[in-house]
Chain A
Amino acid sequence: MNEATIQKIKERLATLKKLPGIGQKSVAEVLEEHGFTRRDFLKWSAAMAVMLGLPTKFSPLIAEAAEVSDRLPVVWLHLAECTGCSESLIRNDSPTIDNILFNFINLQYHDTIMAAAGWQAEENFEEAMEKFAGRFVLCVEGGVPTKDGGEFLTIGPHAETGLEKLKRTADKAAAVISVGTCSSFGGIQAAAPNPTGVKGVYQVINKPVINVPGCPPSAKNIVGTVLYVILFGALPAVDNFNRPKFAYGLRIHDLCERRGHFDAGEFVEEFGDHGAENGFCLYKVGCKGPYTFNNCSRERFNQHTSWPVQAGHGCIGCSEPDFWDSMAPYEEPLANHKFASATVDATADKIGATILVVAGVAIVAHAALSAIKNPKE
C-alpha cells in the first residue's frame, strides 16, 4: 500500500463526494443524532481498517469513505433464503456505526426494510435499474433455484423467476456481492437432494462475484466488503472461493478460545460432561473449526457478545462450499467420515483420525494440522 494507492483512493472519494447524497443530513449528522461522537467514529474507522487488513494510516480514508457511503447506490435482492443474513446485518449488530451506515447507504431496493411495498416497490426497483445502470452495487441474499427454469422462486406481479431477475439485475450492476452461504454457494436449499436445483450466484451469472459466506455472515464482514468497494472501487483480494481474504484468511480454529484445550488434548466427549463444564475443545462433538475459514472466533456476533463455540456447540463450517453435505453429521467429528469438500486436502482426514484414536497426541496432530493452509491462496 504505497502513496500512489492512497492518492488513487483520495481521487476516487473526491469523485464520489461530488455525487448527490440521499438525504438532507450528512452521515456525520446522523451519527451524532444517534449519540456517536466524532471520536467514536474515528475509533470505529481504525478498527475497520484493522479488520480489512489495512495499515492504520488508512483509517482517516475509511472515515471519509463511510461519509460518502450514501452516494453509492445499492440494490439488495432476496432469493431462496431465510432472511437470516439481513437479520444479522440490519437488526442485530446495532446500534453500532455499522448498522447506522447500512441504514444510511443509498439502498435503492431491499425487500424487507424498504418503506415501499407492492407495485410501488416494483416501480422503485425498475427505476433504480435505469437510473443507476452500471453504477450500483448488487447484494444478493439467497440461492438461485434453477430446476424447471427456476419456477420454484418467482418474484413480482409478472411471476419473474429469481434466476431471470438476478441475471438482468447483475447485468447492470457495477459489482456483485453474494451475502451469505446461500447466495455464495447455494446454501441449505442446495443440500442433497437439492429438490429445486439451487445454485450459487457465481454459477449462474457471467460476472465476477465476491462471496461473503456464513450462515449468517457477521455484519462486520458484510459492511467491510461494501466499504472496501467504496474505498477502492474494486473488489478486495480473495481466495479461490472468491471470499475476501481479510475475513476468510484464517481458520476458526486458529483463533479459537478453546484452542489451548485442543493443543493439550482436552476434549468434550459428549454434551454435558466434565469437559463441557470446563470449556474444553469441541472437536469430538463435531466442531468443524479446523476446516473452516472465517473470523467468527475473532469478530464474534451481536456486538461482540458471543459465538456458537462459546455457547458450547461446535462450529458447523457454515462458510465453506457445500458444507451442508460435506460437513455433516454436524455433531460428530469429521474423522469418522470421508471428507469430500474441496476446501481442505486429504491431510485433514488423517489428522482428524489421529486425534480421535490417540487424543493425547493432539500436539503432534496440531503441528500437522497447522500445515493445512488455506488451499486457495
Chain B
Amino acid sequence: MKITKKIVNKIEGEASLKIYGEEKVDFVEIEFWQYRGVESYLINRPVMDALVINPRICGICGHSHLFATVKAIENAVNAKVSKKAEILRDITVGLEIVENHIKWFYITLFPTQIKDKKYIFKAGEFAALISKAIALIAGQYPHNSYMVPGGVTSDPTNLEIIKLKDLLNKIYEKYQEKIMDLNLNSEDIELFFENLPKDIGKSINRFLVLGDNLFFKKNGDVNLVKEVENSSLSKNVLYNGEFVEVGPLARNINNENIRKIYNNYKNSIFTRILTRVYEGLLILEYLINKIKEIDICEPSYIKCGMSNSKGIAAVEAPRGSLIHEIEIKNGKIAYYNIIVPTQFNLSSSKDKNKLSAAQSAMINEKKEYIDSIFKCFDICAVCVSH
C-alpha cells in the first residue's frame, strides 16, 4: 500500500498527514511536531500572571484564551461579574470569532481552490475594522489582558460605546454586502465550490458544545472530557470515551437556516464552511442587540479574593470548545491544563473503527480534496503546540 506523507501549512503553523492509499484515502494519521510548553511555565507563578501569559498561546484567538483563563479563575474563587463586564467580554470574544472566520475563509481555506491575492486584502479590510472595534474596549488586538477575575479593566465612556455601535453596524452591513447575506447567499462560497463537490468531507456527526458564552447553548459536561497521548507532540481528546466534532457546525446545528442546508448536504465540507461563515453574521446580530443593554454606570470590576481551590471553565472559541483548568495554592498556580478545540477535531486515532472528526472526513475521499477538507475544520497548529 502506498503511504504518502503530506505537510499541510497555512494553518497558522503546520501539520503532517500520513496518508495511506492510492487514489483515495484509506487511512490517515494527523501529526503535529511543535511544542512550546505553556502549561509548564505557568506552574508556581502568581495566579494573575496566567492572564498575561495565556493570550500568547495563540495570536489569533488570544481573547478566547484570556476569557477561558479568567472564567477558570472565577470559577475557582467564586467571583461575581457585573452585567456590563459580561457584555464587554462578549463583544471582544464575539468579534474575535467573526474576525477569525473571515480570515480563515479568505486566507487559509480559499487559496486551496482559488489563488488570488485580492481575497487576502478583502479579509484584511474586515480584520482592520473588527480589530479597531476590539481595541476600543480592550486596548489592542491581538494580545491584551483587559479581562481580570471580577470584570474588566476598561471603563468605556458613552462616546466609545457609540463609536462601537457604529462600527458593529458598519461591519454587519459590509458583511452582508460583501461576504454573505441573511439568506445564506454568498458568491465567494459558490466560487470556492466551482470545482469542488459539495458533499465530500462527511464526518462522525457527533457534535459537542461545552461553552455557554454568546448565544451558544452547551450540550455536554466538561468533566467528561479526557486527554490522552498520541504518537505526535499533540494529544487526543475524547468526550465520554468518544471522538466528537466541535466548532460552528456543532453550535449552530439547531439553527433553522443551517438545518435546511444540513438536510440537503449533511455534515459535509459545504455545510461546515457555510455554517462558519454564517455564524459571523449571527454573532454580529447578537452583539448589536446586546450592546444596547450596556449600562455604563455599572461597575467594570467587582473585587474578588484568592483562595486555595480548583476551577475549570469551557468557552466557545472560534474553532470550538476551549477548556482551561487551574488549581490555586497560596496565590500561586499549582496545576494548569489547556485543551484546545483543534485537539477535539484533529485527534489522531490508530483504530479504523474509532476515528476523529477530521480523520473520518478525509477517509474514502480523493487525495486531491484533502487540503480543502482538512482545512474546513479551521485548524490551528499554534494552539495545539501550546
Contacts and interface: CB of A to CB of B under 8 A. Distances in A.
Interface string A63-88: 00000000000000010111111111
B59 A216 contact: yes
A115 B140 contact: no
Nearest to B152: A312
A301 interface: yes
A330 B40 contact: no
Nearest to B147: A313
A188 B155 contact: no
A113 B155 contact: no
B6 A118 contact: yes
B45 interface: yes
A114 interface: yes
B131 A92 contact: yes
Interface string B135-156: 1111111111110101111110
B303 A302 contact: no
Interface stretch (A130-138, A152-160, A203-211, A240-248): A152-160
Interface stretch (A36-44, A93-101, A364-372): A93-101
The B interface is mostly helix, strand or loop, or mixed, namely mixed
A83 B10 CA distance: 11
B140 A312 contact: no
A272 B137 contact: no
A159 B33 contact: yes
Interface in A271-313: 271-272, 276-277, 300-303, 305-313
Contacts of B33: 153-154, 159
Contact of A34 (B48, B58, B121, B371): B121
A118 B370 CA distance: 11
A119 B152 CA distance: 45
Contacts of A260: none
Nearest to B386: A82
A148 B108 CA distance: 32
Interface stretch (A166-174, A191-199, A344-352): A191-199
A195 B111 contact: no
A134 B90 CA distance: 49
B46 interface: yes
A316 interface: yes
Interface in B337-386: 371, 382, 385
A82 B65 CA distance: 12
A312 B154 contact: yes
Nearest to B380: A83
A270 interface: yes
B107 interface: yes
Interface in A100-156: 100, 103, 111-119, 121-122, 152-156
Contact of A82 (B117, B140, B382): B382
Contacts of A270: 303
Given A82-B59, A83-B59, A311-B138, A155 B148 contact: no
Max count, chain B CB within 10 A of own CB: residue among A96, A121, A188: A188
A263 interface: no
B324 interface: no
Contact of A195 (B40, B146, B371): B40
Given A91-B103, A188-B53, A306-B135, A84 B59 contact: yes
Interface in A251-273: 270-272
A316 B153 CA distance: 14
Contacts, number: 235
Given A91-B124, A332-B46, A152 B41 contact: no
B9 A329 contact: no
A328 interface: yes
Given A195-B41, A306-B139, A86 B59 contact: yes
A189 B141 CA distance: 20
Contacts of A88: 59, 142
B135 A301 contact: yes
A84 B125 contact: no
Interface residues of A, number: 75
B140 A91 contact: no
Interface string A309-337: 11111001000000010001111100000
Contacts of A94: 124-125, 127-128
Contacts of B150: 271-272
Contact of A311 (B146, B151, B299): B146
A307 B108 CA distance: 28
B128 A91 contact: yes
B140 A308 contact: yes
B338 to A, nearest CB: 13
B144 A308 contact: yes
Interface of B: 5-10, 12-14, 16, 33-38, 40-41, 45-46, 48-49, 51-53, 56-60, 62, 103, 107-108, 111-112, 115-117, 120-121, 123-125, 127-128, 131-132, 134-146, 148, 150-155, 233, 299-303, 371, 382, 385
Given A312-B139, A312-B153, 5 more contacts: A83-B382, A91-B103, A112-B12, A157-B16, A311-B135
Shortest 3 CB-CB distances between A and B: which pairs?
A84-B59, A272-B301, A311-B139
23 contacts: A80-B34, A82-B58, A82-B60, A84-B58, A87-B59, A90-B124, A92-B141, A103-B121, A112-B108, A114-B10, A115-B111, A152-B233, A156-B7, A188-B41, A191-B41, A194-B41, A276-B153, A308-B140, A311-B140, A312-B139, A313-B153, A328-B49, A332-B46
